[in-house]
Amino acid sequence: MTAPYLAALGLREPPFSKEIPDAELWLPASKQPVVDGLLDALDERASVVLVGEPGVGKTCVLRALRHRIPAAGFRLTYCHNATLGRRDFYRQLCVALGLSPAATAGSLFYAVSRHVEERAEERIHPVFLLDEAHLLHQDTLEHLHILLNYHWDSRALLSLVLVGLPELRDRLALRRNRSLHSRLHHRLEIAPLTPDDTAEYLRLRLRRAGCDRELFASDATALLHEATAGSMRDLDRLAAAALRETARRKRKLVERDTVARVIEEDTRERDR
């Protein structure tokens, strides 16, 4: 059943849910080059670091990559728990790869690197996507370049894609991480949304939910952009709250005063 506040605004589903199929992810001119950059890097069998502020769409870009990469030649493995010591990190990787996790750190590492070599024999390029990589333990981070070493470091059999907040870049720049950093040849960044992006994003998500008319007044959109500083997750939360408040006020247009009220409440909640 469609919630009454959605029906009142002519929407058939919540427009700002995170449940958006990979094929329908929005790739404006500001994001397409990041997906293309990832595809180019993986085509070269290279490794990548991708950074961006919270909520700018890093994980969604990985999903867009999953949708676009040729399925036959690549195997993507996604790891989202970076908060593990080295042994547990490799154990997680073993489980994600469908391998039975061994007991010691050495045998876990061996199982993962053997898996990589076996994929090379099948002409499949494995890609390990390490999300939230700014949280990687130092002992894991400084070991990763060893995982990239095959045949006396003469073969590119694996790509690592480290994804995280901008502090990941700062960590990689530390002297103790230079062995890994120098092997991450592609360094990408996702910028926050521009004001035009924000307006386009709102329009697109509303259209997907069944609404073709302009539901947000332009000054309401401008205020949302200012308050969210280009973070789509914040935009999802505040825009959804603004829709609920608009319906409660029995209006058909999301106006600036409604958005201002929602932002005020959100700020009060955050500071409590």
Q: Edge-to-edge, what's the strand order for the sheet holding 186-189?
A: 74-79, 125-130, 159-164, 48-51, 186-189
In the chain the first and final C-alpha atoms are separated, in Å, by 34
Q: Within 13 Å and on the Cβ side, how many CA atoms surround 129? A: 19
Rounded Cα distance between 32 and 43, Å, is: 16
Residue 59 in contact with Mg ion, rule: CB under 5 A: yes
Residue 208 in contact with ligand ATP, rule: CB under 6 A: no
Distance of CA 263 to the CA centre of its chain: 25
Query: Of 31 and 58, which CB lies nearer to Mg ion in the complex structure?
Result: 58
Residue 254 in contact with ligand ATP, rule: CB under 6 A: no
CA nearest neighbour of 248 among 15, 8, 10, 2: 8
Among residue numbers 47 through 76, which ones bind ligand ATP (CB under 6 A)?
A: 52, 54-60
Rounded Cα distance between 54 and 173, Å, is: 20
Q: Which of 197, 236, 245, 255 binds ligand ATP (CB under 6 A)?
A: 236
Among residue numbers 6 through 45, which ones bind ligand ATP (CB under 6 A)?
A: 18, 20, 25-26
Partner touching 232 among Mg ion, ligand ATP, none, CB below 5 to 8 Å by kind: ligand ATP
Query: Of 60 and 172, which CB lies nearer to ligand ATP in the complex structure?
Result: 60
Taking the complex as a whole, the smallest distance from the CB of residue 140 to ligand ATP amounts, in Å, to 19
Taking the complex as a whole, the smallest distance from the CB of residue 205 to ligand ATP amounts, in Å, to 7
**Helix/strand/coil percentages in the chain, nearest 5:** 50, 10, 35
Tracing tokens 């990985």 back to the chain, one arrives at: 62
> Strand (E) positions, 58-158?
74-79, 125-130
List 216's β-bridge partners, or say none: 254
Stretch that binds ligand ATP, among 86-94, 102-110, 228-236, 256-264 (CB under 6 A): 228-236
Stretch that binds ligand ATP, among 180-188, 219-227, 229-237, 262-270 (CB under 6 A): 229-237
Rounded Cα distance between 204 and 16, Å, is: 10
Handedness of CA 100, 104, 109, 110 (dihedral sign): negative
Taking the complex as a whole, the smallest distance from the CB of residue 80 to Mg ion amounts, in Å, to 8
Query: Of 52 and 115, which CB lies nearer to ligand ATP in the complex structure?
Result: 52
Q: Site residues (CB under 6 A) for ligand ATP?
A: 18, 20, 25-26, 52, 54-60, 165, 232-233, 236
Q: Site residues (CB under 5 A) for Mg ion?
A: 58-59
